[in-house]
Every structure is written in C-alpha cells, then in structure tokens.
C-alpha cells in the first residue's frame, strides 16, 4: 500500500491510496542499492519546498506546472517505469568483471563501443594534422594576473583545411604548471576582448584565473553547427569530404567533444599548464558533450556535466522529463541513428548513462543539477552517478555511494565524484563554477 499524491482534474492536490506493485529496479539482476531510496522513501515523494537539511525532492508545484505545460512527458516518480540498469561489471557474454585488468583490457572497450554504435556515433579514422596559430595576445590582463590569447586551430587533410577559434587564458604569476579547464560553450563565442572586460558567468575566465586555473573556451557551432541542417558546414562533413554521414558515424556531440580534445593537444604544448590536470566542462548539451569527451579521451582528468539531462548524466530508463524519443526528434544531429530507435523502449538500450561515468572512472566526474530543471531529471542524474560506484570501487577509487540525494545547495563530494543541486533553473553560473572548483581544488592541490 502506498499513498500517492496526484492531481485532481480541477488541478488541486488530492491523496489517493493505491495498492501498487513496486517493481524493484535492479542492476544486472542484483538489487541496485542506488535505487533503494527511491523505493523506501516512496516513489511519489515530492516536497512542498526544499530546505537545507532534507534530501532534495522535486517540488510539488513544479511537478504540477511542468506536467500541465508538457503533458506528454512524465514528472511523477510514481510513473517512472520499473527498470533494470545494465551492469557495467558484466561483460556482453555475461562474464562477471572482477579485476582491474579485465576492466581495462576488455570491458571498457566493449562498453565504449556500445556507446559509439548506439548513442554518440564513431569518430572518423582519417589522418589529419592540426596547427594552432596565435591570432592576438594581451599580456597583462587583470593587473598582470593573466595572459590572454585569441587562437585559431586549423585541421588539415591533404590540401583541405578546417578552422575553429578558441580563447585561452594562462596565469602569469604561477611558480608551477597550473591545472586547466576547457569550457565547451554551447551558447556563443566569447572573444578575447569580451572575456577580459566582462566576467561572463557562463565562462568566468577571470574567476578561473583568480582561483589558479588556466582556461580555454570554444563555441560548439564553430566546430559543428548546432542545427539539423548544418552538417555541410561542420567538421563532420570536412572529415567525410562532403559525403553524408553513415548511420553510425559521429554526430555533433561527439564532434564538439573531439574539438575539446584538440584544444587539449594545444595545452599539452604549454609549459605553464599541467596537462595531466585538465577538466572538460559543459552545460546542458555541452554537459552531454563533456561526459562523452572524457570517455573518448582518457587524457581528461575531470569531467563536469552541468544540467546535462537526457543523453548526458540522466538515466535514459527513467524517461523522466526529456525522453530519448523527444531528444532524437528535436536534435537528430546530436546522436547516431540507432539512439532514435530506442524511443519509448529505453529499457532495450544496451547501455545507460551511469556507464558513461563508469567509462571515466577512475578519473573524476562532477555532476550538477538545478532544483527547477526537472526536464533534465535531477534524480536521474544523481542516480546515474551513484550507480557508477561499483566501477570506481573496482578501480580502487572512492566515489559517492550515498543513495539519498543531498539537500539543496549542499555539494556532496566523495573521492573522485561530486554532485550538487542548486536552487534556480537551467543554467551555468558562478555558484556552479565555485562548487565545481572547490571539488577540483581537492584533486589538484
């Protein structure tokens, strides 16, 4: 028996008592501890208001508002379908993975191959060269704290070239090489002069420098246009010499992540930067990208995914807020064709998003949600992170294992993983940055 809050036809809240069979979500047949709290606290749990000392729950008024506004999507915990998460520590042939060697030598490759074939697509194997040109430089920014550079990356295949710009800041006064943050800007390009004169909360370069980090940022659409019909102008068409993409070829999210790796190529040549301490950061579609970028490129020490939701940190199987069907029809250029086939049958996807974080282990992962951003499914984002814990543990690293969500505005950090849920809506701002940097400070100093 459970008591389930629901909405009456006239929009007021009523309580109904129903007998429900609570299917216990499992990982690979074993009861999943990450799901246990969802069951014990009642799957319908919502809060009137979130406080500083109780675990976060979706606010009732927001659940109601979102459900009314987008009635074809689910915002009720009670309507999350029962699901079994695929076990990252079970090989495709069913063999349990119990050693670091088995993970590194076979299972990791199996999993990343599944993500490439079913979700993000395969990057091209064509050979290319890359050059970095300094277009402009300002040496004594912010009272001598930093040097800023306007850069152009040029990718060449034979006599064909593709360019994309980025901006880089390096601290001037460091005794030792500093950690760095590569920011994937899914909104706009911030030129050097603008980044110097305005500390944009979306990419607060000055804050990053003051906190002892070098930082670079590029705009996604400069690499691969963020439009359904933008293929011909982007890096994917450049690699394919104008031919249309094959069904399992990379799509924009992977292309943007690839660009973050190219900037890392450049940072590796900079003696002022500790290239073994580089984080990749993104918000929303940029947060989906940052996770995948870190899966594909093990040189990234940290991935930070902010409000990334469906196709990012959130578990697809929960189908809460944005769904696979919706995201693949609204943004067909983000995922390879297979992903769209799982619309309304999320439980058939051979992977789920906790395994994305497992692929980053034992490196660091930080996930951030926002109280009002139910479209991105904060609980699904948190649960995915915790469900990767067995892989962190196998690889000898601590991570968050606490299944109950933290209270609002109280970052939780354990070993190589961190999480916060901030008040307010979908967005990346100074609060998120500062909590994230508190986390990376612990890893890098």
Q: Which of 50, 186, 217, 387 binds ligand GTR (CB under 6 A)?
A: 186
Q: At what angle do helices 33-40 and 378-387 cross, to 10 degrees?
A: 140
The active-site residue out of 33, 67, 156, 426 is: 426
Distance in Å, CB of 327 to ligand GTR, minimum: 5
The active-site residue out of 150, 284, 305, 316 is: 284
- Closer CB to ligand GTR, 169 or 331, in the complex: 331
Distance in Å, CB of 355 to ligand GTR, minimum: 19
Separation between Cα atoms, residue 290 and residue 279, nearest integer Å: 9
Q: Which of 251, 285, 318, 363 binds ligand GTR (CB under 6 A)?
A: 285
- Closer CB to ligand GTR, 104 or 329, in the complex: 329
Q: Report whether 121 contacts 251 (CB < 8 A).
A: yes
Q: Is residue 266 annotated as part of the catalytic site, yes or no?
A: no
Distance in Å, CB of 37 to ligand GTR, minimum: 26
The binding track of 235-274 with respect to ligand GTR, each residue x by CB under 6 A or -, is: ----------------------------------------
User: In the structure encoding, which two tokens stand for residue 161, read together?
Assistant: 């070239």
**Who contacts 275 (Cβ-Cβ below 8 Å, separation ≥6)?**
177, 180, 264, 267, 268, 299
Distance in Å, CB of 440 to ligand GTR, minimum: 23
User: In the structure encoding, which two tokens stand for residue 410, read together?
Assistant: 């109280």
Q: Which of 46, 284, 369, 417 binds ligand GTR (CB under 6 A)?
A: 284
Distance in Å, CB of 312 to ligand GTR, minimum: 7
Q: Report whether 177 contacts 274 (CB < 8 A).
A: yes
**Who contacts 159 (Cβ-Cβ below 8 Å, separation ≥6)?**
none
Q: How many Å from the N-terminal Cα to the C-terminal Cα in the chain?
A: 51
Q: Is residue 284 annotated as part of the catalytic site, yes or no?
A: yes
- Closer CB to ligand GTR, 77 or 322, in the complex: 322
Q: Report whether 403 contacts 27 (CB < 8 A).
A: no
Q: For residue 425, list its beta bridge partners.
A: none
**Who contacts 336 (Cβ-Cβ below 8 Å, separation ≥6)?**
116, 117, 118, 119, 120, 121, 122, 247, 248, 249, 250, 251
Q: Report whether 226 contacts 252 (CB < 8 A).
A: yes
Distance in Å, CB of 374 to ligand GTR, minimum: 12
If one asks whether residue 66 binds ligand GTR (CB under 6 A), the answer comes out as no
- Closer CB to ligand GTR, 245 or 311, in the complex: 311
Distance in Å, CB of 205 to ligand GTR, minimum: 21
Separation between Cα atoms, residue 107 and residue 92, nearest integer Å: 8
Contacts (CB under 6 A) with ligand GTR, residues 310-329:
310, 322, 327
Q: Torsion angle of alpha carbons 10, 14, 17, 19, nearest 10°?
A: 50
User: In the structure encoding, which two tokens stand for residue 280, read together?
Assistant: 């990749």
Separation between Cα atoms, residue 391 and residue 365, nearest integer Å: 13
If one asks whether residue 309 binds ligand GTR (CB under 6 A), the answer comes out as yes
Count of residues engaged in binding ligand GTR, rule: CB under 6 A = 7
Separation between Cα atoms, residue 262 and residue 278, nearest integer Å: 13
* Strand bridging mode 160-171 / 214-219: antiparallel
Contact residues for ligand GTR (CB under 6 A)? 186, 284-285, 309-310, 322, 327
Residues serving a catalytic function are 284, 426
């Amino acid at each position: 028996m459970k008591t389930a809050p629901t909405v009456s036809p006239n929009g007021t809240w009523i309580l109904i008592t129903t007998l429900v069979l609570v299917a216990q979500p499992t990982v690979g047949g074993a009861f999943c501890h990450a799901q246990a709290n969802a069951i014990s606290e009642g799957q319908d749990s919502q809060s009137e208001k979130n406080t500083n000392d109780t675990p976060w729950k979706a606010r009732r008024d927001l659940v109601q508002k979102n459900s009314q506004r987008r009635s074809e999507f689910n915002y009720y915990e009670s309507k999350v379908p029962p699901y079994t998460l695929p076990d990252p520590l079970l090989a495709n042939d069913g063999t349990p993975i119990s050693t670091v060697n088995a993970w590194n030598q076979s299972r990791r490759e199996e999993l990343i191959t599944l993500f490439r074939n079913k979700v993000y697509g395969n990057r091209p194997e064509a050979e290319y060269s890359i050059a970095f040109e300094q277009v402009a430089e300002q040496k004594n920014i912010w009272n001598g704290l930093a040097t800023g550079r306007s850069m152009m990356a040029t990718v060449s295949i034979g006599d064909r070239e593709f360019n994309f710009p980025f901006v880089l800041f390096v601290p001037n006064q460091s005794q030792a090489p500093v950690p760095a943050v590569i920011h994937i800007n899914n909104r706009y390009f911030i030129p050097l002069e603008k980044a110097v004169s305005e500390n944009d909360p979306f990419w607060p370069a000055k804050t990053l420098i003051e906190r002892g980090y070098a930082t670079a940022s590029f705009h996604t659409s400069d690499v691969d246009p963020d439009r359904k019909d933008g293929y011909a102008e982007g890096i994917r068409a450049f690699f394919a010499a104008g031919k249309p993409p094959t069904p399992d070829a990379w799509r924009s999210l992977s292309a943007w992540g690839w660009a973050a790796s190219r900037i890392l190529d450049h940072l590796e040549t900079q003696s002022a930067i500790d290239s073994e301490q580089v984080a990749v950061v993104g918000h929303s579609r940029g947060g989906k990208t940052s996770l995948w970028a870190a899966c594909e490129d093990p040189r990234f020490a940290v991935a930070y995914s902010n409000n990334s939701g469906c196709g990012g940190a959130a578990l697809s199987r929960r189908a809460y807020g944005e769904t696979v069907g919706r995201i693949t029809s609204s943004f067909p250029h983000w995922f390879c064709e297979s992903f769209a086939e799982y619309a309304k049958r999320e439980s058939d996807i051979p992977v789920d998003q906790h395994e994305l974080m497992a692929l980053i282990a034992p490196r660091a992962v930080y996930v951030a949600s926002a109280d009002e951003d139910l479209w991105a499914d904060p609980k699904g984002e948190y649960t995915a992170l915790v469900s990767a814990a067995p892989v962190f543990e196998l690889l000898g690293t601590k991570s968050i294992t606490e299944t109950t969500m933290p209270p609002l505005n109280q970052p939780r950090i354990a070993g190589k993983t961190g999480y916060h849920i901030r008040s307010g809506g979908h967005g990346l701002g100074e609060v998120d940055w500062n909590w994230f940097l508190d986390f990376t400070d612990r890893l890098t100093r």
